[in-house]
Amino acid sequence: MIDTQGLTAWLRLALIPGIGSETQRKLLAAFGLPEAVFAASPSKLRSVIGSKLELLLDFPLGDAIERHLDWAGQPNQHILTLADPAYPGQLLNIADPPTLLFVRGDPSLLQRPALGIVGSRNATPQGLRNARQFSAALAERGLSIVSGLALGIDTAAHHGALTAGGATIAVIGTGADRVYPARNRDLALSIVERGAIVSEFPLGTPPIAANFPRRNRIIAGLSLGVLVVEAAVESGSLITARQAGEQGREVFAIPGSIHAPQSRGCHRLIREGAKLVETANDILEELGNPPGQSATPPTDEREPALLAVIGHDPCNFDELVERSGMPADVLHGELLTLELAGRIGILPGNRYQRID
């Protein structure tokens, strides 16, 4: 059941154009809950927000409030306020927590230990594989994977978590009733069924460019740390990484070729102090085995056999194809999984070495 009266006051405060989150927080700090804000005298309100008083008192919102209340009354659709016990505690500790969160899916996932995975929309094939494999490995250990539903690395990260049977959270820069980009509609439906889609923007908000850097602070805020898989030097992913650092979260980056533009942002982060990672274990060790995270990865029945095929001496990929009898694409995926789990290493000359 929705507390319609209480939520109406929160919506009234949050939906007025020109009354942004900073002004909303000033009012809440001065008067308490929104009901008390609207019960305060004009003179007291003016002493807190000055000339914005006229916006607060006069803007008509009846239809908009009813539309949002109707939306929140549907299955798997929720509006969380700053005073709601279900509001994620991690976000309360950032400098600019959203007054409202619109959630499609399971809001309890927002309280679980999570890792943000972000990167380029124009990712390389290797970058997409890295995003999927890191996401799957970390989701299997109990971490929710947070990303932004964008094309490229974000999409691969969401898919990786879902494929591994884990949870994923998409923080979007539009209203929660919209899917952007449209080609991720099926992915969004899967996330609603097995994770959560989160927005701070009112219903109907279109994909405005300025909203996406704002949503990045929520990706960082929900996460214990942020992993940047690929990023150009001028990239929104670096904004997310910077915000994560400012919020006291860990920042991780995967290195790449010195010749690839998509690696230069990661290399800059590493020079500035981000932690270089090669396996999922590098991240888990840095996070200190967060609550809910399994210390040991699930085993695959093929893993011992493949490790036996590798043996204890370095061998190249062609030798492994011949020894294992696996198709090259299947073998490549299995080797990458073992690498991310810290079970094998790659030596110069594309040779593989078992790590015991």
DSSP class of residue 261 equals: H
pLDDT tens, 265-279?
Answer: 999 999 999 999 999
Starting at the edge strand found earlier in the chain, the sheet holding 144-147 runs 77-81, 100-105, 196-199, 168-171, 144-147, 114-118, 225-228, 250-253, 275-276
pLDDT band of residue 295 (cuts 50, 70, 90) is very low
Model confidence at 136, in pLDDT bands (50, 70, 90)?
very high
Mean pLDDT of 317-322: 86
Query: By the 8 A CB rule, do 76 and 104 touch?
Result: yes
CB 144 within 8 A of CB 162: no
Please give the pLDDT value at position 291: 57
Question: Count of alpha carbons within 13 Å of 345, Cβ hemisphere only?
Answer: 10
DSSP state of 349: T
Phi, psi of 289 (to 5 degrees): 50, 70
Whether the predicted pLDDT of 294 surpasses 60: no
Give the per-residue pLDDT at 17.
Answer: 84
Please list the helix, strand and coil fractions of the chain in percent, rounded to the nearest 5, in that order: 50, 15, 35
Indicate whether 355 pLDDT > 80. no
- Of 346, 221, 226, nearest to 286 by C-alpha is 226
Contact assessment for residue 158 and residue 187, using Cβ atoms and an 8 Å cutoff: yes
**Which structural domains are found in the chain, ordered by start?**
1-67 (1.10.150), 108-287 (3.40.50.450), 302-354 (1.10.10.10)
State the average pLDDT over residues 6-24: 90
